Structure 1
Amino acid sequence: MMHIDVLTLFPEMFNGVLQSSILKKAQDKGRFTYQLVNFRDYTVNKHHKVDDYPYGGGAGMVLTPQPVFDAVDAIMKGKESKPRVVLMCPQGETFNQKKAEELANEEHLVFICGHYEGYDERIREYLVTDEISIGDYVLTGGELGAMVVMDSVVRLLPQVLGNDTSAPQDSYSTGLLEHPHYTRPADFRGMKVPEVLLSGNHAKIEEWRKNQSLQRTYQRRNDLLHDYPLTEKEKQLLNEWNTNK
């Protein structure tokens, strides 16, 4: 079972996300537990402050190290193994499916969600194992980013999804974007489901899906094909699509 601790000044932001959909089902199935830790509770400042002006001057306020370090110390009390401590930060590595799969193998994750101008560098240097960004933009705080990462990781845990083949076939898990999906009715307002999907021929359906996945990746995220191990047949298809552009 995975356990996740989240250090945040706004724990109430997580309630809806953690009590809904897949994250709620994962808890009900006993696949993960969580704790929301308001690190303001650990400050020794008499005014309950967790930030201060930066040395050297500059705009904004910086999170002080003491409450964050003490909160992590409290989390780790009595535990033998060290968790992965993830700092949500716009300077971190861009989050992707490979990173989600890596984190899904851990038993204990700690997310640190900052606010204000930034973190005291000693948090980053001495406490954190991973720095993650969910994109090249800046949010008010790390909470929304942590929710994104948690959802992406927890859904990969065993037995969380109803179908164990769902996650491995997702976009990016295979290295390609996922193929199109269709359901009933077969003819909706004259828009018809491809005949091959109605054929019952599983080999042809699988081939169609692979080709559609390759074509969709070629059209929408061509950059993903740079490191993808193409077969000779797939190379031929790409050449045909390039020729017909």
Structure 2
Amino acid sequence: MNRTDCGDEIDESRYAVTRGVFAIPILHDHSPDVGHSAEGMTIEIGRDSIVFELATRTRPATSKWLLGIETENGELEFTTVVSRYVSQSGLGLRISAAFVSPDDDPLADDNLTPTLDPQDLTFHTKLSRVVLNKWVALGVLQPRLVDRVLVCRGCGSLPTFRRGCRNCGSIEVKSQRMIHHFACAHVDHVACFGHTAELACPKCLATKLVVGADFEYLDGPLLCLECQWSDTELLTIARCGSCGDECALNQTVEKEMVEYRVNRLELLDLVAAN
């Protein structure tokens, strides 16, 4: 195996690397073409390309492949390539292929992580769940739960949350001001103490009450200005940012956020081990 003056850094040279390989053609919808997958061996590897042979003579319709290359501990590390030259060999097919960039890799991290779509306010991965499950079934992808979020019960979009009236849901709610008279411990609405400058207790009839000395103001029950409902607590209400549906917090739907991981090929480690 040739090396350059750069030590272990791979240059344009090619390296003879013989490892078991499992090749899966990738269809145009990014799903695996299991029927045309095949086993074989790697022949040589460069910084940007790889040559491998497969025990099959059937050429798939696609030029993009996912290669699972066996490591020293027997595990498979995966990389995506696109074939440039395909020829017949004693084993079956000899394929010269180039490693693809992350932008052209269907199994790049950006395609496997759920994100929020600003158009419909839903969380989803760029690859469909159907396609992802096919790769999971092959053992290529490993799902991992990363979060749980509350979404609209109707359309699954992301809602906003606010506090409102427990009866009608209105946000037009205010606290009713109360007075606590220290001397007799009476607590009542401010209006019950009179509307003049000289407040009087409706219980003990004391007059000329002075705030701080004779009484204190308290926040009393909540009053809805729309339906006149009175209560001591507000309700957390979800409003869908897409369809506009409103419901109580406990009526929303919990959705699992699942990302997918792939055991990626470390090219430097592979070459250094040979």
The normalised TM-score by structure 1 is: 0.24
Larger radius of gyration: 2
The normalised TM-score by structure 2 is: 0.22
Decide which structure has greater strand share: 2
Decide which structure has greater helix share: 1
